[in-house]
Amino acid sequence: MTGSSVLDAILTETRERVASGRERRPLGPSHPAVREAPPVRPFGAALTRPGRVRVIAEHKRRSPSRGAIREDLAPGDVARAYEANGAAAISVLTDEAFFGGRIDHLVEARAACSLPVLRKDFVVDPWQVWEARAAGADAVLLIAAALADAELASLLAVTREAGVDAIVEVHDREELDRALAAGSRIVGVNNRDLRTLDVSLETSLALAPSIPDEVVAVAESGIGKGADVRRLGQAGFDAVLVGEHLMASPDPGAALSRLLEEAA
């Protein structure tokens, strides 16, 4: 299956899941679960520290490109290990069909640490933003390749209403321009081409000069060495998101500590 067909399959499954969830549990700003959600932890602010690249450490059990990574680790244990070893924030995959995640994993991870937590999923509907907020998410991922301009702008408006940050994920200059035009304040450059599943750090390095200084810049995918982190920091990135490299290690927390030491 090609990357493009994988993305299409994920989006089809996601829309079906959202339709079912919305019918089963209507969520919006006035829903008790949203009103009673814990206070938002500042996500974007946690990613900016002059002179040091911050790490968003990810809980990721499996992926379409790699298959099973680590399905035996509890989200709470992983979140505690990441916090103890220098993560600035936590990312949690909540897509079940393709990544083995669940929204409950985010709830568990957030309860186990004091760091801001990103819901990483294929968000295509406002209902998912409210679901994320009800679960305690401090930020959500919006993927430019999966959204039309009007959808992206609308979902960014919903994140502002919900009080959560949004990383708008891009892969090329056209998507970056779309993200900036929509008003994104945090941009994530995915080094994995969702159409082919190929990975190259050159994607981030090529786009870095086009990201305005006032926009928080995050590099995603394909980062497994301290040298990678240093190169990206020198190019202007504020933070990196690392998942597979950490989760594939015998001890994800220790792997994070080594990565940060190598990057220093």
- Which positions are annotated as active-site residues? 58, 60, 120, 169, 190, 220-221
175 within 8 A of 210, measured Cβ to Cβ: no
Distances (CA, A) of 141 to 79, 124, 257: 18, 10, 25
Taking the C-alpha atoms of residue 134 and residue 157, their distance in angstroms, rounded to an integer, is 17
226 within 8 A of 262, measured Cβ to Cβ: yes
Instruction: List the structure tokens of 196.
Output: 């082919």
Any idea what DSSP says for residue 40? P
Q: Report the Cα–Cα distance between both ends of the chain, in Å, rounded.
A: 39
Residue 67 falls in which region: left (phi positive, over 0), alpha (psi -120 to 50) or beta:
left
The Cβ-side half-sphere exposure at 153, using a 13 Å CA radius, reads 8
